[in-house]
Structure 1
């Protein structure tokens, strides 16, 4: 049974899924309905973009190629594959998925930071306060069992346009996961990554 993580909680992937090598990080969300003059309506589509930042032990990106997102779907090592952009968040389950082969992650990359941002958030006047049922989950691809899930409460992120969701990191040679859930105000992925160079 999957663990429902609380903000800041850490788990050992070795303990929760012995022998784990390939994982899928799934992200999902729905857009909260707004009340208008003529009842309920949905505003502009929310385009949430999931990305992975591959950080060194110093917490830095070595290059732009260590950011995996809709414009760079594959890491050069073959360890990380983004399965593509979902422009609306429509549908059930995961809206975006990222595959990670933990055995191929280069030794100098010790932290995989999973982030999400709202595309054109400022222009569209959108924030995570208008998003509901947002979650990040980690699935063991050898048996398709969910290892852990972290659900976000939209109201607490009013005004935030980016989110650091979770981290998968190496600690003494062992992979672990931490639920982060930190909202940031950033106009796009570039702004979110600036502090990591």
Structure 2
């Protein structure tokens, strides 16, 4: 049974799973059921919520130096081979993880010391969508060697109303030890590129 993290809590991955190198970061969410009803309620023209999970790789100055250090639906694998996005889920439908990202800590280049896991709503402005309608959002880490869940962070509450992006969690290196921090900060951005600008 993994640790259920609270916002701002940090854990040492090295202590929770000695020898850990490969892990899965799973992200999930549900969208609140649409109001409406009536005979044609099932044929609502409201578009699906397309939430996109990404990883922003930062250097010691908390900066991303080029777009190849962002792993997302348009760049599914980091050039080092250390981070692989397993693909885009366009609706959030289904149980369990909606999107998964594989991380091999042993292959992360030395200049990268922090991985920021984010989720943003695709085309949020045009679709008039925000995280106020998103429920049961979570991020979790799983040790791939034994499929054991190391930690999980559930996001909930009305604080995300009006927010269109979210900084879910960080995996960072401190004194040659990998740690995880639960962040859970909502941001107002129009797409991933705008979110990345804060680290430029």
TM normalised by structure 2 equals: 0.95
Shift of 1:62: 1.6
User: Is it true that 1:161 corresponds to 2:164 in the alignment?
Assistant: yes
Per-residue CA distance 1:85-127 (angstroms, 9 max, x = gap): 0000011110100000000000110000000100011111111
SS in 1 for 2:126: helix
Q: Contact 1:128/1:154 (CA < 8 Å) preserved in 2?
A: no
Query: What are the residue-to-residue correspondences of 1:1-197 with 2, within 5 Å?
Result: 1-36=1-36, 38=38, 43-197=46-200
Per-residue CA distance 1:129-180 (angstroms, 9 max, x = gap): 1001110000000000000000111522000000000000000000000000
Shift of 1:37: 5.4
SS in 2 for 1:58: coil
Deviates more, 1:105-114 or 1:35-44: 35-44
Distance, in Å, in 2 between the alignment partners of 1:38 and 1:110 is 53
Distance, in Å, in 1 between the alignment partners of 2:88 and 2:183 is 22
Shift of 1:38: 2.9
Distance, in Å, in 1 between the alignment partners of 2:32 and 2:158 is 10
Distance, in Å, in 2 between the alignment partners of 1:76 and 1:164 is 23
SS in 2 for 1:35: coil
Q: RMSD of the TM alignment (CA)?
A: 1.3
SS in 2 for 1:76: coil
Aligned pair count? 197
Structure 1 residues without counterparts, runs of 5 or longer: none
Moved over 3 A (4+): 39-43
